[in-house]
Structure 1
Amino acid sequence: MTGPAPARVLLLDHTAKLSGGEQALLGVASALHGGAATARAIVFEDGPLVGRLRALGIDTALLPLGSDLNTTSRSRALSPKGLLRGAGALAGFVPRLARSIRFSGAELVVANSLKSAVFASLAAPLARRPWVWHLHDRLAADYLPRPLAAAMRLLATWGPRAIVVNSSATAATLPRRARAKATIAYPGLMPDAFAPAPAQESASVVGLIGRISPTKGQREFLNAAALIAAEHPAVRFRVVGAALFGEDEYEAEVRALPDQLGIGDRVEFTGWVADPGAQLRELTVLVHASPVPEPFGQVVVEAMAAGVPVIGAAAGGVPEILGADDETGTAGTETAAAGIRHTPYGVLVRPGDPNALARALSDVLNDPAGRQARAAAARRRARESFTIERTAAACLGAWGRALGSVRNPRPMGVRGVTVPR
């Protein structure tokens, strides 16, 4: 007796840059393609994602938008000029995308970004195909421009058959009707992410990894570094990443900040790196300093898997990751008042507060035994909760429900992964 036929899915993404959502898509595709699903992909620009998908054996086509919509910031896209340009792009692009969907032979369309979801909401019905939204953004006014958040909430309610969200924090920003069709699938890690960080032989390095953006907290991180620099003269600070989506002005401001703070000789900017995991494993402490609630916090999970101690902003998906609800004790009134909260797996700090971050950094750097104990517990948690096998099984279940028949959600058909101990 044979099992259900593999789902034929078409993956859509507007960008080929390897941001968090694209890394999550690659993980799911690598686990499911050739097993429980047969995937094809359409990407709206050329770049690293295209090569990575093709390397997985996924037939990937380019369907350029023919405008600069892929690189413009969200605020510019919502300007009168941006809206006019966007309407023109929709009118020309949607029929081409609908034809490509029909030609692909896919039975289900999976949109992996906000922009691709907008296009899928129009093109998939034209092609008479159901579509699913893999949502990596909180649809809230503190994370997106208010008009965009409102429009996306409306789209989530009436557009996709199912929604795959990356955290409970993301699900909470959906309207009730949309939340009812949502599945939580934490972005899982591939086996190589669990390779442990080597023992450090050099001076301590505290780092922040991610694209340079006001939402990622590089400014807050550097201000906190300046506050503890004198107390910890041997510690160096590292900013890993570059601006990706029209935020070059912010990057220039951030790069000038260390000299203004008097720590220019202690701060390293790596720019974009092909292997952020290698940079992660060189850190004594990984800092997540986003001043606004992030939907998930992929770099936090990656640090946990590698055994690198973590300090994270106490908002969005990060408290879920660091087990804020799993605490066995309380941090005490004085620590709470200082904007710091210890969990069994890391330290949470008040978002957007360089002073609280500086206090947390000082505590963690002064307590090597405590930070290593939390890091070891965090690594065990990552092995239990954040593997790509779990993610792929959740996605497969959501895809099956969108197709009208619940496919077997077990990891059967998901390529087996072995997580290093």
Structure 2
Amino acid sequence: MTTPGADRPTRVLVLDHTGELGGAELALVRLCHALGPEVDVRVLLFSDGPLVERLRAAGVATEVLALDRRTATTSRESVGRASLSQLVSLLRLVPFSWALARRVQGLRPDVVHTTSLKADLLGVVPARWARSALVWHVHDRIADDYLPSRVARVFRWAAARFPDAVIVNSEATASTLPVGTTVAYPGFGAGQDLAGPRPPLPAGRSGPVVGMIGRISRTKGQLELVRAARTVLDRHPAAVFRVVGEPSFGAEEYADQVRAEAERLGVADHVTWVGFVADPSTELDGFDVCVHASPVPEPFGQVVVEAMIREVPVVAARAGGVVEILAGPPGEPALGLLVEPGDEESLAQGILAVLDAPGEARDRAVRAAVVARRRYSAARTAEVVSGVWLRAAGRAR
């Protein structure tokens, strides 16, 4: 075997179960853009979707080996419930796992890098058969308040036995795993940052804009936002709430619940459902405040970083990786306003604190941008991740 890093770059094969554009997938695209010549990355996805073209546009060789759609789209909650349908799904994995193992062996990677919970587990046998180092990139807190307890228990057991190295997206995620990890914060791309001072808010608006960006899901807090809207509107009756994102992974019922709650509370006329946007920068530039209201601790919170680098004031739930993101330098105040998770009154008061004191909010947002640009660039992420790959490939020889 030729030594990686001597006569050739280290070959890395990334496995992901989805072709959709979730937070981890967008972070993968930015990572690939920022990688240096010491690594040669190829991506194999288990389903087609817009991620394929995003990666190819970034110059990354990408292919799809289709997993049965019913298995690929199974939610974390349903995996935690034993049923006949789940047993059938497991049986469908047998021919797929065989095909995956053969393809991985044919590509002969030095490192197999898995970047979703399904890919983590499905990548174990192919990596071992190909005699490749296995690196898990964990983007989820492996905790009972974030995953079904059965899933979390199995994953923690597997994490201690199978991967050669584990990368996590925050200290909050690291604290839920029983093994040593390397923290690589998801980085923002150069095109996401402001080219100069923050552009002025659009003229002629009827009132302040309170925005939330992210997949519509019980773990993201859209329900808490529409409940907080009632209190905010009592003081700022012209305020507008923009909900950017759409439901996925079976969250349509939750989306319907959020819309119904907005109607019940009489705030629906003030809520705009924007849907998915590929680049949130334009939306962020129109926000007076960006809200991150997850009722359970989030592993990271990329939209918080995206808001910070565009100098948008942030109000976020005090839990998980978001606390790390908004932590100021030692001895200095936080870079955003932190509120109690799952508490719509606390959320409303945080939003009002920004809207009632825009000058203070602006100064805080400018400080946040300086810190975020230093901490969370994709170039820094690439340096950390590629370092793990090179070390893992060296140990595997």
TM-score by length of 2: 0.94
Aligned to 1:129: 132
1:76–1:82 contact (8 Å) kept in structure 2 = no
Match of 1:393 among 363, 377, 383: 383
User: Post-superposition shift, 1:82?
Assistant: 4.2
Displacement, 1:83?
A: 2.9
Structure 1 residue 127: deviation in Å?
Answer: 2.2
SS where residue 191 of structure 2 aligns? helix
Q: What does residue range 46-65 of structure 1 map to in structure 2 within 5 Å?
A: 46-65=48-67
Are positions 1:167 and 2:170 aligned together?
yes
The corresponding residue for 1:36 is 38
Paired amino acid for 1:287: V
Give the aligned residue type for 1:238: R
Note if contact 1:138-1:294 (Cα within 8 Å) is conserved in structure 2. yes
Give the superposition deviation at 1:102. Answer: 1.4
What do residues 66-109 of structure 1 show as CA deviations (whole Å, max 9, x unaligned)? 24122221122233234302321321111111111111131111
Query: 1:411 maps to what in 2?
Result: none
- Contact persistence 1:111–1:132 (CA under 8 A): yes
- State the secondary structure of the residue aligned to 2:231: helix
Q: Which residue of 1 aligns with 2:192?
A: 193
Measure, in 1, the Cα distance between the counterparts of 2:198 and 2:108: 44
Distance 1:224 1:145 in 2: 28
Find out whether 1:312 has 2:302 as its counterpart: no
Deviation (angstroms), 1:325: 7.3
Q: Which deviates more, 18-27 or 124-133?
A: 124-133
Aligned partners of 2:125 and 2:230: how far apart in 1?
A: 49
Aligned partner letter, 1:388: A
**Structure 1 residues 393 and 54: CA distance shift in structure 2, 3 A:** same
Greater Cα shift, 373-382 or 50-59: 50-59
Counterpart-to-counterpart distance in 2, 1:233 and 1:10: 52
1:260 paired residue number: 264
Distance 1:63 1:104 in 2: 13
Residue deviations 1:211-256 (CA, integer Å, cap 9, x gap): 0000000000110111121111121111110101111100111122
Instruction: String of CA shifts for 1:258-302, please: whole Å, max 9, x gaps.
Output: 111111211100112222222122111000000000000000000
Matches within 5 A, 1:232-243: 232-243=236-247
Q: Which amino acid aligns with 1:130?
A: A
Whether the 8 Å CA contact 1:67–1:89 is kept in 2: the answer is: no
- 1:377 aligns to what? 367
Aligned to 2:21: 18
Q: Alignment partner of 2:177: what SS?
A: coil
CA distance in 2, matches of 1:325, 1:296: 18
| SS class of match (1:230) | helix
Q: Which moved more, 1:73-82 or 1:229-238?
A: 73-82
Task: Please name the residue that 1:359 is paired with.
Answer: 349
Partner of 1:42, secondary structure, is: strand
- 1:3 Cα shift? 6.6
The amino acid across from 1:185 in the alignment is A
Asked if residue 300 in structure 1 is aligned to residue 304 in structure 2, the reply is yes
Structure 2 partner of 1:244: 248
Q: Counterparts in 2 of 1:40-189, with a 5 A limit?
A: 40-79=42-81, 80-175=83-178, 178=179, 180=180, 182-189=181-188
Instruction: Encode CA deviations 1:135-188: one digit per residue, 9 max, x unaligned.
Output: 10000001100000111111111111111100000000011xx1x2x1100001
Does structure 2 retain, via aligned residues, the 8 Å contact 1:40–1:104? no
> Secondary structure of the equivalent of 1:69?
helix
Give the aligned residue type for 1:192.
G
User: Does the 8 Å CA contact 2:114/2:136 hold for their aligned counterparts?
Assistant: yes
Question: Structure 2 regions of 5+ residues with no counterpart?
Answer: none
Preserved CA contact (<8 Å) 2:141 2:176: yes
Distance 1:297 1:100 in 2: 34
Q: Deviations for 1:33-80, whole angstroms, at most 9, x for unmatched residues?
A: 6x1211111101110111111112222111001241222211222332
Q: Name the aligned partner's letter for residue 372 of structure 1.
A: R
List aligned pairs for 1:397-408, cutoff 5 A: 397-404=387-394
Measured on the aligned residues, the alpha-carbon RMSD in Å equals: 1.7
Q: Which runs of 5+ in 1 are unaligned?
A: 329-342, 407-421
CA distance in 1, matches of 2:28, 2:289: 27
- TM-score in terms of structure 1 length: 0.89
Conserved? CA contact 1:162–1:401, under 8 Å: no
Contact 1:69 1:77 in 2 (8 A): no
Q: What is the number of residues matched between the two proteins?
A: 386
Deviation at 1:125, TM superposition (A): 1.0
**Percent of residue pairs bearing the same amino acid type:** 45
Q: Is the 8 A contact 2:301 2:322 kept in 1?
A: yes
Please say if residues 311 and 346 of structure 1, whose CA atoms lie closer than 8 Å, have aligned partners that are also in contact.
Answer: yes
* 1:346 and 2:332 matched: no
